[in-house]
Amino acid sequence: MYNIIYCSGGVCASEGFFADGVSAGLKKGGAKDMAFIYSENECEVASVFTTNKMCAAPIRHFKEMGDVKSNFIIINSKNANAMTGKAGIEDIKEVLSNSPKNAKNPIMSSTGVIGVRLPKAKIIEGMKLFDLSKRDSSNASKAIMTTDTFAKEISFNVKLDDGSSFNIGAIAKGAGMINPAMATMLCFITTDAKVSKAQMQEILDEVVKTTFNAISVDGDTSTNDTVLLLANARSGAYDKEAFKEALFKVMHFLALEMVRDGEGATKLVTYKVSGAKDDKEAEIAAKALSDSLLVKTALFGEDPNWGRIASTIGASGVEAYEEKLKISFDNLCVYDRGEILFDAEMEKKCAIIMQHQKFTISCDLGVGEGSFKAYGCDLGHEYVKINADYRT
């Protein structure tokens, strides 16, 4: 048995980890725009990256590093260093050659505008501001924000039956260009658990399926999506089941925070699909709902247009039948296996539900035992305003 307890500290909750954010002049007005995460001990590193074929230079550089341990990550905002070719990788090498002397196999991660070379001079000068003794996860989380409206961090202490314990914490950014198969998101997770790289990677790959890969803001998959999990083993403690649940708690919380902070979003919606032929078909249907622009705009207008939900499921390609489908808004069933329950009174009740910041749309396909939950938000005027002039 074990007990997972919320604690403060973010990426610095884990023993031996340090972090901070500084201003290197990449953002206007002196806002923090560069961050670091540092461990006194070298770490095993597990990773998951974007499925976008145009993956950014930092991801390509990391993969070129091979199977190495690291203790230092530098993150910059405002510039994605994507679509910059070999020059983008050479820029990273030059930046990292100026890393603090304690950095072992340093890693770089970037977010921001695509198709622009890194402002190397500013970043190198910015690194001179890093104080590796600082433990300010909050500053680091603020420095990596782009269109985010709030910083995102979380941490837990995990107490095991034998009296030992380990910590796990994370920071993340992401608010737009978010789509299942990861998002325009960066997530950095630290732990002092004594976990092997192989087991850490196995668990990360499994947990990402129901967390970051289950969310959608706008249906676009970024060039820079990155999850890095660093373990320095400082606690000497580990339990696989406890670690997996703690990692899920960290990633699930941050995934929902990204959807809640979706560009211009006003609602966080859970799409619960059950009764599918199998779990994969349930996933396909749920993600189709979270991606659908027609569904998203109906959410924004607080219009309980259940016909769009039925249509989206039908278009998703999964096995589904009009006479077996059941659709509910929270606990209110509007369509039950061929029977339309959506009268004027029901519409009023559903419209009230859609005024809430959080609610669930449930769809029982009545075909099998498959189930999956996806998460999405509405899409409105503010999203268009933000992305119409993102570069400026």
Count how many Cα atoms sit within 13 Å of the Cα of residue 65 in the half-sphere of its side chain.
21
State both tokens at 58: 């930092």
DSSP 113-153: BSS----HHHHHHHHTT--TT-B-HHHHHHHT-SS-SS-EE
Catalytic residue check, 270: no
DSSP string, 260-296: HT-TT---EEEEEEEEESSHHHHHHHHHHHHH-HHHH
Q: Which whole number is the average pLDDT over 57-64?
A: 96
Alpha helices by DSSP H, the chain: 57-65, 85-96, 120-127, 137-143, 197-209, 240-260, 279-291, 293-300, 306-315, 344-353, 381-388
What totals of helices (H) and strands (E) does the chain contain, helices first? 11, 16
Report pTM: 0.88
Token pair of 272 as six digits:
């619960």
Torsion region of 352: left, alpha or beta (phi above 0 gives left; psi -120 to 50 gives alpha): alpha
Q: List, in order, residues 6 or more apart from 183 with CB less than 8 Å away.
A: 174, 177, 212, 215, 217, 221, 222, 225, 258
Angle at 81 between CA 80 and CA 82, to 5 degrees: 85
- Average pLDDT (275-294) is 95
| DSSP codes joined into one string, 148-175 | -SS-EEEEEEEEETTS-EEEEEEEEE-S
Q: Which residues are CB-neighbours of 178 under 8 A, at least 6 positions away? A: 184, 185, 215, 216, 217, 218, 220, 222, 258, 259, 262
Report the Cα–Cα distance between both ends of the chain, in Å, rounded.
52
Residue 70, CA distances (Å) to 23, 171, 229, 231, 365 in order: 24, 18, 11, 10, 47
Q: What is the reported pLDDT for 18? A: 98
- Give yes or no for residue 83 having a pLDDT over 50: yes
Per the prediction, the chain carries an average pLDDT of 92
- The span from the CA of 138 to the CA of 149, in Å, is 14
Structure tokens at 20: 């901070």
The model's pLDDT over 4-16, given as tens digits with 9 standing for 90+, comes to 999 999 999 999 9
Looking at the DSSP assignment, which residues form a beta bridge with residue 58?
none
On whether the CB atoms of residues 78 and 26 are closer than 8 A, the answer is: yes
Query: What's the pLDDT tens digit per position in 351-377?
Result: 999 999 999 999 999 999 999 999 988
What's the burial of 344, exposed, middle or buried (CB within 10 Å: 0-12/13-18/19+)? Answer: exposed
Residues present in the chain in total? 392
Which distant-in-sequence residues (6+ apart) come within 8 Å of 206 by Cβ?
A: 244
Q: What tokens were used for 61?
A: 């550089």
Chain centroid to CA 285: 20
Q: Which of 50, 111, 146, 184 is catalytic?
A: 184
Residue 265 has pLDDT above 90, yes or no: no
pLDDT interval class at 380 (50, 70, 90): low
- State yes or no: pLDDT of 383 exceeds 80: no
Please count the CA atoms within 13 angstroms of the CA of 280 that sit on its side-chain side: 1
User: Tell me: the pLDDT tens digits for 175-214?
Assistant: 655 444 444 689 999 999 999 999 999 999 999 999 998 8
**Residue 106, Cβ density class (10 Å: 0-12 exposed, 13-18 middle, ≥19 buried):** buried
